[in-house]
């Protein structure tokens, strides 16, 4: 069984975000993990880790109960394994026009590694945009489904403002803020990323059918669920960690004090991403969650897309804000990256294959170098591929 | 010439906030300051201080120019002195129903000492409320004259919420936020304080005539300008330092990025008072100044009067927030203060004179103890005087 088929199988076995399965896969590899589920029991060392990590100390009845719990987990995974058919899943996904990416693939967003053992086993993607490149300069924009006209106006404004400045939006696919920010982003030319809590073949909510079609043509739909998976409530909550992890920072536009958007905000904080919130009228309960984040000092108060870009652009020492110019001067790039950069055209864009030929390096190297060059502000994505980014004076 | 007459004279000589005059008064006393102005020149030591503090180092043409500048200041003060008539000013003020308070008077708010040499020489007060007591638990609420309906709604809500909880409002008398917060405060029973940039006899703006009448009957009008002084622009700016200095903290409700309210905010910061701002729609330019203060971390984001009280109530180790109960338990009060506290009735209020008789201490001691007892949360002001504040459980 290939790693790809094993990971498609794993998508069927455990619910997304299951850290026990995550640990099994991380420590034993995806094929061996499926093999253990097929045998219906974990290897003894894994069982010992599971019980000891939850109840250190001498063996006792507490550890016996834990061992029994792990056995029940394996039994439920094994039951699902009986109906799993990874080859059919792969064919089904491709028939819908989606593609599967797994860790190590050029399109895999490596920042998902920050999720550790709760990270996804694989992702189904459906859309024209390259997920990894789209997320290099991306901002998660989240908020209430029951948004006010003020909230949807601001969300659309943020979507358009981010997209016009070359920053991708990452959001869900719900009514309210999610939908408004994607619509705004579609007004620009930058890909927009919708992370779903159901299979990419399920357009949920169905009234967003045409919105999802537009996202597919200019951006990409993302899901860690297999085809046909329906959106159930816990999947929305675990989905939120992907939104936070894919982007450099999250901004909350309208959230009541018990909004699911605050769950995404919590993931952003625990992932060490930037968190911002947009204020609103203090008379609006729909802004109360945003104000609480700002008051607590958990979120930075941002009022415009530019301020959000300033926040995430300044993040980390290795990535420069757009307006400050590249962090790494050309002469400090490694030889391969410099050759790739020299092969990127200045005005009209070129695709990775063209650049690979011009640079005299293989396609895989080009794909891995382009991301870093874009992140450092040397090149930018245009409809026909990549081109040099015009130099700008330092400062704003 | 009495100190009182000297200070009334000084109100006519220099513009409010003039730090050179402030230094002269602080170092030589008010009567001697008027005497030097009458002679048309400063004493040699003061002249040396003036030139040396601005241009340390060996004597030279720069210092000669500074000496000439000081002489011109004295000449302009002397010219004003010729037309000053302090006895007439005092009579005129009293005829209007106002009263003069000077440093050392029981009603003088000692926190004005934080203004140092830019503090007022004296204050004209007009209204039923005691200024010093009113300001013990007070919040400055400032904002745009060109407020939106959102801003005036929030300001009225803050005024009412603060007043209902026994906190005085300190503000100006302008259209917009100032007027709305006073109207809100008048809905409660706590005095409201309007600090004017003109004489208390000048109702400016005139459309606020009836508002000022209501403030006089439930609170107090305050001015450091003599009767008949008209509101000119620089007086508004120097007036703002009084608003910030009188209160424990300032909250800005609606301010564009160039609003005069931000000037008050700056005074609050430089006086080490708390500063807060109320957010609003990011689409409203009238909230842009508030958002900038919050973004910079200069102001705390507050959305309700309770949050503002929490902020200023927690200020300093010596003053307790209302909800946390007194900081100083009764048994740690000094003997005089304890006797005064024991003489304060529990339910119906009593005036200072009644309390003085009951406590067996003199009136001046009672007046100085009542302030500290109110600030520590032991007693509260009611229409008929002072009474014990009901104990509340700690926490909220």
The residue with greater pLDDT, B183 or A346, is: B183
CB-CB under 8 Å, A302 with B301: no
Nearest to A294 among B154, B282, B301 (CB): B301
Q: What value does the mean pLDDT take over residues A272-297?
A: 96
Q: How far, in Å, CA of A300 to CA of A291, rounded?
A: 10
Distance separating alpha carbons of residues A259 and A257, to the nearest angstrom: 6
With an 8 Å Cβ cutoff, are A291 and B282 in contact?
Answer: no
Whether A95 has a pLDDT exceeding 90, the answer reads: yes
**pLDDT over 90, % of chain A:** 72
Count of all residues that appear for chain B in the document: 396
| Residue pLDDT, tens place only, B121-135 | 999 999 999 999 999
DSSP A284-341: -GGGHHHHHHHHHTSSEE--SHHHHHHHHHT-SSSS--GGG--SS-GGGS-HHHHHHH
- What does the alpha-carbon distance between residue A174 and residue B355 come to, in Å, rounded to a whole number? 66
For residue B307, list chain A residues with Cβ-Cβ distance below 8 A. 295
Which member of A153, A280, A300 has the closest CB to residue B279? A280
CB contact under 8 A, A283 and B154: yes
Q: Which residues is B101 bridged to in the sheet?
A: B123
Place of tokens 């009845």: A61
Contact A174/A286 with Cβ under 8 angstroms?
Answer: no
pLDDT bracket for residue A331 (50, 70, 90): low
CA distances from A212 to A127, A201, A221, A228 (A): 9, 10, 8, 16
The CA radius of gyration of chain A, in Å to the nearest whole number, is 22
What distance in Å separates residue A396's CA from the closest CA in chain B? 18
Residue from B279, B297, B298, B310 to probe the interface with A (highest A Cβ count within 10 Å): B279
Angstrom CA distances, A76 to A80, A378, B83, stand at: 6, 50, 98
Residues of B at the A interface, defined by Cβ within 8 angstroms: 150, 153-154, 278-283, 287-288, 291, 294-295, 300-304, 307
* Min Cα–Cα distance to chain B from A151, Å: 9
Task: Give the dihedral sign, CA A367/A372/A378/A384.
Answer: positive
For chain B, first and last CA: distance in Å?
Answer: 54
CA-closest candidate to residue B341, choices B376, B296, B291: B376
The alpha-carbon gap from A295 to the nearest alpha carbon of chain B, in Å, equals 5
Dihedral (C-alpha) B254, B257, B263, B269: value to the nearest 10 degrees?
Answer: 80
Residue A386 above 90 pLDDT? no
How many angstroms separate the Cα of B63 from the Cα of each of A239, B57, B59? 72, 9, 6
DSSP assignment of B248-301 equals SEEEEES--TT-THHHHHHHHHHTT-EEEEE---TT-GGGHHHHHHHHHTSSEE
Please state, in angstroms and as integers, the Cα–Cα distance from residue B333 to each residue in A380, B355, B387, following that order: 70, 17, 17
Closest residue of A to B282, CA-based? A303
Which residues are within 8 A (CB) of A163 and not within 5 positions of it... i.e. 6 or more apart? A169, A184, A185, A186, A187, A188, A189, A190, A192
What is residue B353's predicted lDDT score, i.e. its pLDDT? 83
Say which of A150, A281, A301 has its CB closest to residue B291. Answer: A301
The two tokens of residue B250 are 């300032």
Cα angle value A372/A374/A379 (rounded, 5°): 130
Is the Cβ–Cβ distance between B309 and B321 less than 8 Å? yes
Res. A239 pLDDT band, cuts 50 70 90? very high
**C-alpha–C-alpha distance, residues B76 and A261, integer Å:** 64
Please compute the mean of the pLDDT values over residues B347-362 and round it to a whole number.
82
State whether A281 and B280 contact (CB < 8 Å).
Answer: yes
User: What is the three-state SS of A117-145?
Assistant: HHCCCCEEEECCCCHHHHHHCEEEEEECC
CA distance A252 to A269: 12
CB pairs under 8 A between A and B: 55
Structure-token match 């980014």, residue found: A389
For residues A8-37, give the mean pLDDT. Answer: 96
A380: tokens are: 């930018």
Q: Residue B107 is encoded by which pair of tokens?
A: 């009603």
Map residue A248 onto helix, strand or coil.
Answer: coil
What residues in B contact A278, CB-CB < 8 Å?
A: 282
Percent of chain B with pLDDT over 90: 72
The mean pLDDT of B33-39, rounded to a whole number, is 96
- Contact between B288 and B259 under an 8 Å Cβ cutoff? The reply is no
The shortest C-alpha distance from A293 to chain B (Å) reads: 10
Tell me the C-alpha distance between B223 and B98, whole Å: 10
CATH architecture of structural domain B110-313: 3-Layer(aba) Sandwich (3.40)
A294–B279 C-beta distance less than 8 A: yes
pLDDT at A21 over 80: yes
Residues of chain A positioned with their CB less than 8 A from the CB of B295: 300-303, 307
Question: Which residue from B154, B291, B295 is facing A282, i.e. has the nearest CB?
Answer: B154
Please determine, looking at this structure, whether the domain spanning A322-388 carries the CATH number 1.10.10.10: yes
CA–CA gap between residue B266 and residue B257 (Å, rounded): 13
Q: How confident is the model at residue B116 (pLDDT cuts 50, 70, 90)?
A: very high
- Taking residues A119-123, what's their average pLDDT? 98
Task: Mark yes or no for CB contact A295/B288 under 8 Å.
Answer: no
Rounded distance, CA A241 to CA A17, Å?
9
A223: confidence class by pLDDT, cuts 50, 70, 90: very high
The residue of A295, A298, A304, A307 whose CB has the most chain B CBs within 10 angstroms, and thus the best one to mutate to test that interface, is: A295
Residue of B nearest to A299 (CA): B295
The pLDDT tens digits of the residues spanning B232-270 come to 888 899 999 999 999 999 999 999 998 899 999 999 999
Q: Is the pLDDT of residue A22 over 80?
A: yes
Domain boundaries, chain B: 3-84, 110-313, 323-388
Find all residues with CB under 8 Å of B43, minimum gap 6, and list them: B28, B36
With beta carbons under 8 A apart, name residues in chain B contacting A287.
279
Listed in sequence order, the residues at least 6 apart from A211 whose beta carbon sits closer than 8 Å to its beta carbon are A173, A179, A182, A183
| Collapsed DSSP state (helix, strand, coil) of residue A236 | helix
pLDDT at res. A193: 98
Sheet containing B192-195: which strands, arranged edge to edge?
B99-101, B123-126, B220-223, B192-195, B168-171, B138-143, B249-253, B274-278, B300-301
Kindly state the tokens that stand for B153.
Answer: 């709604």
Q: What confidence tens digit (pLDDT) does each residue in A161-170 have?
A: 999 999 999 9
Determine the topology of domain B323-388 in CATH.
Answer: Arc Repressor Mutant, subunit A (1.10.10)
Is the confidence at residue A312, as pLDDT, over 90?
yes
Nearest residue in B to A148, CA atom: B281
What pLDDT shows up at residue B351?
85
């Amino acid at each position: 069984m290939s790693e790809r088929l094993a990971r498609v199988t794993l998508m069927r076995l455990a619910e997304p975000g299951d850290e026990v399965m995550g640990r099994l896969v991380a420590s034993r590899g995806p094929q061996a993990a499926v093999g253990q589920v097929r045998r219906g029991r974990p290897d003894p060392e894994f069982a010992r880790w599971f019980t000891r990590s939850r109840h250190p100390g001498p063996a006792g009845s507490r550890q016996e109960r834990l061992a029994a719990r792990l056995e029940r987990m394996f039994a439920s995974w094994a039951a699902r394994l009986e109906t799993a058919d990874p080859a059919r899943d792969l064919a089904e996904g491709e028939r819908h026009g989606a593609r599967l990416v797994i860790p190590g693939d050029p399109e895999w967003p490596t920042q998902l590694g920050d999720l550790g053992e709760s990270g996804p086993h694989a992702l189904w993607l459906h859309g024209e945009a390259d997920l990894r490149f789209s997320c290099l300069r991306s901002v998660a924009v989240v908020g209430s489904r029951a948004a006010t006209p003020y909230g949807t106006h601001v969300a659309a404004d943020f979507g358009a403002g981010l997209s016009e400045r070359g920053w991708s939006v990452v959001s869900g696919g719900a009514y309210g803020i999610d939908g408004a920010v994607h619509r705004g982003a579609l007004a620009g030319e930058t890909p927009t990323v919708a992370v779903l809590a159901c299979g990419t073949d399920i357009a949920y909510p169905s009234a967003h059918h045409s919105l999802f079609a537009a996202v597919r043509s200019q951006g990409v739909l993302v899901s860690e669920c297999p085809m046909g998976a329906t959106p159930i409530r816990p999947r929305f909550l675990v989905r939120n960690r992907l939104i936070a992890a894919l982007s450099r920072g999250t901004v909350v536009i309208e959230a009541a004090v018990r909004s699911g958007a605050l769950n995404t905000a919590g993931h952003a904080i625990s992932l060490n991403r930037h968190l911002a919130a947009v204020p609103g009228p203090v008379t609006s309960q729909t802004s109360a969650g945003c104000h609480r984040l700002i008051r607590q000092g958990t979120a930075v108060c941002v009022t415009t897309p530019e301020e959000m870009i300033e926040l995430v652009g300044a993040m980390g020492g290795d990535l420069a804000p757009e307006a400050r110019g590249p962090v790494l001067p050309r002469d400090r790039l490694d030889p391969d990256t410099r050759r790739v950069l020299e092969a990127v055209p200045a005005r009209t864009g070129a695709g990775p294959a063209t650049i690979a030929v011009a640079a005299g390096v293989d396609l895989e190297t080009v794909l891995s170098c382009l991301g870093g060059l874009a992140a450092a502000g040397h090149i930018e994505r245009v409809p026909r591929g990549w081109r040099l980014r015009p130099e700008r004076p330092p400062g704003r």
